[in-house]
Amino acid sequence: GDGHHPGNSVWDACILVGLDCIGSGTSQLIVLACLVNSVVQLYFVWIIYEYLLADPMDSTELDELLRFRVSVGHSASFADDISMKSMIAQVCAEEQKLHLAGSQLGLYSDIKEFSLGGMWLTILANLCFILYMLVEINSAWHFGRALRTAATGEATVFKIEDESANDDPSSLGADPSALVKGMVVVRLHRMTRTRVALLHIFVLLPRIVIGLLLTYVGVRWLGYTTNMADLLLNAVALTFVLDIDELLYAVFIPRRVQCLMNNLQQMPVQASRMTQYTGLGGAHVLLKWILLVGVCALVFFRSTMPFFEQLNQAQDILCSGNVDFIWSRNAATGMINVAATSDSSDWNPSEKILLQLVQPTISEDARNNGWEIDDELVALASSNFTKAKLRPAAPDLKSATFDTGSFRLVRRMESATVQQMASIIACQDGMTKQSDLQLGDHLAMLVDNTSVVNCSGTWLNERCSWRNMTSLR
């Protein structure tokens, strides 16, 4: 049959424990390294199981998203007064200026991006991880078969042999001083039944159990990931946990033990019963393929596909249906009142006024590198002209000075009533110290007519009597 070659792992190094050739101190070091490896790997498994396997799209989370959508998401209290959009409309548009609902915005952005190719990446990550775990479990299984095949006796015997490539003296030719290429190998001759039993209980069984547990929690952890970058990092982290035994071997196992392990010849493994009965040497390979495909299919139908259905449901809860409306409760009647919101992505007049005040630097390099911004906005960002009412009164923001009373007044305007604000309106033309052009533009914006430049005209006086013309008055 085939054979098992011990690898560079603290698991396989345990086969030398108790031998006189390595000493009791080295044997204790190997046992300690194996124990540390088991504890660390099991601790990682427990951490993942206890803290990282919470389903981010379980029933409770979907219920909370639905409550957020129908209440807070459309509440008039959280609507944007400048763009006149509901909070949920800003979430669905992924507007980075949104300073509330950050968790919902991040969740929606991750789901939207992950839905484009996340399922295939999840399948690929699970496939690679399961294949990696099968390598570990297959190595442990072969180690167990080698233990069952090994000859037993009253003492454990390892033989050191010299297998020289040029052991025939005639191959030296005429020069007896020629170098002889030799190789020293170590062969397992027999082991005691007690050693075989202890290796099964304290090496083979823990190795297989840890491998199966890590496979279970690892597949579930990868299946609950909603970000592509996190998915790749998580997959790499899981393989790191599996390689801890090799790291401990490389750092803490003495060099002479590593030399013995490197020279240890493969342990014979008896052919499987299926190979003996069928005569098909590749039957076990076919079974491995079937196992790999079966496990991947099970993970897909039991974990991956249901989770992506929940992700699609969460995306629909947040942004399907009507997003362009706000609601508020009438304090007098208790009835719910609803108003449609703007669904335009264009800059409205209020945003343009504020852009004139902000005056951010917009470089030509950014525009040349793909930022498609309207020329009108670029001009507004560099303009000293403003349609805003400055307090205290000033022709522009650069000439305005700080005033405590003005600061507090502007802070109170959001919650002040019409009567309170009307009491401080200047009753004389020109009190705002703005130019006629500024006032004319503001008037044109209020009446939605660009031809209006002053307050003359009977039709304008008629509008002043309308109830909804407070700003015009």
Average pLDDT by stretches of 10, the chain with 473 residues: 81 92 92 96 96 91 91 90 88 88 91 92 95 92 89 84 57 51 74 93 95 96 93 94 94 92 86 57 78 94 94 93 89 85 80 82 85 86 78 78 84 74 58 61 73 66 64 63
User: Alpha-carbon distance 275 to 283, whole Å?
Assistant: 7
pLDDT on residue 230: 94
Rg (CA), the chain: 38
Report pLDDT for 166: 47
Cβ atoms 172, 180 nearer than 8 A: yes
As to burial, measured by CB atoms within 10 angstroms (0-12 exposed, 13-18 middle, 19+ buried), residue 459 is exposed
Task: Bin 290: left if φ > 0, else alpha if -120 < ψ < 50, else beta.
Answer: alpha
CB count, 10 Å around CB of 343? Answer: 12
> Residue 400's closest CA among 412, 392, 410?
392
Residue 215 φ/ψ, nearest 5 degrees: -65, -45
User: So what's the pLDDT on residue 168?
Assistant: 53
Beta bridge pairs of residue 184: 162
- Predicted pLDDT of residue 223: 94
- Minimal CA–CA distance to 149: which of 9, 27, 267? 267
| Coil vs helix vs strand at 393 | coil
Stated pTM of the model: 0.74
| Complete DSSP assignment for 13-54 | HGGGTT-TTTHHHHHHHHHHHHHHHHHHHHHHHHHHHHHS--
The token duo for 200 is: 């099964």
